[in-house]
């Protein structure tokens, strides 16, 4: 954003202070203008199901993201003056990332959902990677928050320590994870139909996170070998879906040989939780999606070639020994992990991890958030 545009947006904020607040208006944002997704989507769906008279507005960065919105949810351009006036007149803000807007009126409420159970160190705990400018904006954002969500005792403790925040934290669970407690066969069909795959096809999702240096060396997954191991261990026909992080999505075609049947590009699938629900196994490295997916009871494995290098960026909250998911550091080791997968042992280790970190996920997080919002806008 250029200096002229920054000054223009700042001027819009000043002018907007004189505008009245519409208590019924709820403005959502997910990952700085991404489409209908993540915790905000689940909360918005709960509000729609409540059949309230709330006015639902979603901040989007382009027409494609706007097209993802359901009926009754109005799009608003993220980097525009319209966004300023939408936020300035809303009764409630819902976001899963930091908001860097400077103003918030006393009769407005801000629900911050954040975006996952942390494996990598975040906020103050990752200060060396984020720096003083981030801290300045983060503190300004935290001062506006009225309710911060948590899905576990560990998360509550971490957020309290490192979020530059001393307000209310609610252990409601993660709204986006409610779907794992209410399986929907329609989602399985939708995911397979999106990739023109038969209904009985088993799916293993490879969803690694990105590297700060944008290196591609860590993504050397042998998808064919993985699919063959899944078929040998679990039976049936398997397809490997590849979903790269948005920051490196443009590299997808260069990294993998897609054939449309056994190896398929799922990078542009719009809803990660929906994709997780539709898959039968997850392979990731350092993504918090592993803690989401494990709630489904289905197998999650880790494939990581660069643990020591990655630790130099933000490091982890848990040692490799404390992690509840089998780890492979080569394609041969990953295939062996699949072939030797023991369901009973896997479930016991995951259960112990959730108990130790006092997870509070139960499938009702979105409704709790919707009830909190409806109470504020009455």
> Is the confidence at residue 214, as pLDDT, over 80?
no
At 181 the pLDDT is: 94
Average pLDDT, the chain: 93
- Which residues, 6 or more positions from 95, have their beta carbon under 8 angstroms from its beta carbon? 28, 29, 30, 40, 110, 111, 112, 113
Provide the pLDDT confidence category of residue 1 given band limits of 50, 70 and 90: low
Residue 68 has pLDDT above 60, yes or no: yes
- The per-residue pLDDT for 373 is 98
**Spatial contact of 39 and 176, defined as CB atoms under 8 Å apart:** yes
**Cα distance between residue 270 and residue 290, in whole Å:** 18
Instruction: Give the tens place of pLDDT for each residue, 256-305.
Output: 889 999 999 999 898 999 999 999 999 999 999 999 999 999 999 999 99
Task: Answer whether residue 48 shows pLDDT above 70.
Answer: yes
Mean pLDDT across the stretch 207-225?
85
Q: What Rg value do the Cα atoms of the chain yield, rounded?
A: 21
Helix (H) or strand (E) holding 265, with range, is: strand 263-265
pLDDT at 233: 98
Is the pLDDT assigned to residue 368 strictly greater than 60?
yes
Q: What percentage of the chain has pLDDT greater than the value 90?
A: 79
Residue 34 has pLDDT above 70, yes or no: yes
pLDDT of res. 211: 79
Burial of 98 (0-12, 13-18, 19+ CB in 10 A): middle
pLDDT score, position 56? 98
Phi, psi of 242 (to 5 degrees): -110, 120
Domain annotation for the chain: domains and CATH numbers: 13-178+363-377 (3.40.50.11820), 184-356 (3.40.50.12580)
> Is residue 243 very low, low, confident or very high in pLDDT (cuts 50, 70, 90)?
very high
Q: Inform me whether the pLDDT recorded for 244 exceeds 70.
A: yes
Average pLDDT rounded to a whole number, residues 26-45: 95
What is the band of 42 on the pLDDT scale with cuts at 50, 70, 90? very high
pLDDT of residue 364: 98
pTM of the model: 0.94
pLDDT confidence of residue 235: 97
pLDDT at 251: 74
- pLDDT bracket for residue 5 (50, 70, 90): confident
Between these two residues, 33 and 218, which has the higher pLDDT value? Answer: 33
**pLDDT 10s digits, 142-156:** 999 999 999 999 999
What residues are paired with 303 via a beta bridge?
328
Does residue 248 register a pLDDT over 80?
Answer: no
- pLDDT tens column, 118-131: 999 999 999 988 99
Nearest residue to 83 via CA among 100, 64, 66, 60: 60
């Amino acid at each position: 954003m250029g200096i002229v545009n920054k000054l223009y947006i700042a001027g819009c904020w000043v002018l907007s202070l004189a505008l009245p607040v519409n208590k019924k208006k709820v403005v959502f944002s997910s990952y700085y203008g991404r489409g209908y997704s993540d915790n905000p989507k689940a909360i918005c769906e709960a509000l729609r199901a409540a059949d309230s008279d709330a006015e639902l507005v979603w901040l989007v960065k382009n027409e494609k993201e706007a097209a993802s919105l359901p009926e009754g949810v109005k799009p608003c351009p993220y980097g525009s003056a319209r966004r300023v006036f939408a936020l300035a007149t809303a009764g409630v803000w819902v976001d899963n990332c930091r908001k860097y807007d400077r103003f918030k009126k006393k009769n407005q409420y801000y629900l911050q959902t954040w975006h996952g159970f942390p494996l990598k160190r975040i906020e103050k705990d990752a200060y060396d990677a984020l720096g003083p400018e981030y801290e300045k904006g983060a503190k300004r954002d935290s001062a506006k928050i009225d309710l911060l969500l948590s899905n576990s005792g560990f998360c509550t403790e971490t957020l309290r320590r490192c979020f530059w925040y001393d307000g209310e934290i609610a252990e409601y669970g993660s709204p986006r994870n409610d779907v794992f407690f209410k399986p929907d066969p329609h989602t399985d069909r939708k995911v397979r139909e999106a990739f023109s795959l038969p209904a009985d096809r088993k799916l293993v999702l490879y969803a690694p996170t990105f590297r700060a240096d944008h290196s591609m060396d860590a993504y050397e997954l042998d998808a064919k070998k993985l699919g063959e191991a899944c078929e040998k261990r679990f039976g049936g026909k398997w397809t490997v879906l590849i979903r790269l992080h948005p920051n490196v999505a443009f590299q997808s075609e260069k990294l993998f040989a897609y054939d449309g049947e056994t190896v398929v590009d799922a990078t542009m699938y719009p809803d990660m939780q929906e994709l997780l629900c539709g898959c039968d196994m997850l392979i990731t490295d350092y993504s918090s999606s592993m803690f989401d997916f494990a709630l489904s009871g289905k197998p999650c494995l880790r494939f990581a070639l660069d643990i020591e290098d990655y630790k130099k960026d933000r490091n982890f909250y848990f040692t490799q020994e404390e992690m509840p998911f089998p780890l492979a550091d080569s394609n041969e080791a990953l295939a062996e992990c699949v072939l030797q997968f023991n369901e009973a042992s896997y479930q016991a280790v995951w259960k112990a991890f959730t108990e130790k970190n006092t997870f509070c996920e139960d499938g009702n997080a979105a409704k709790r958030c919707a009830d909190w919002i409806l109470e504020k806008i009455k």
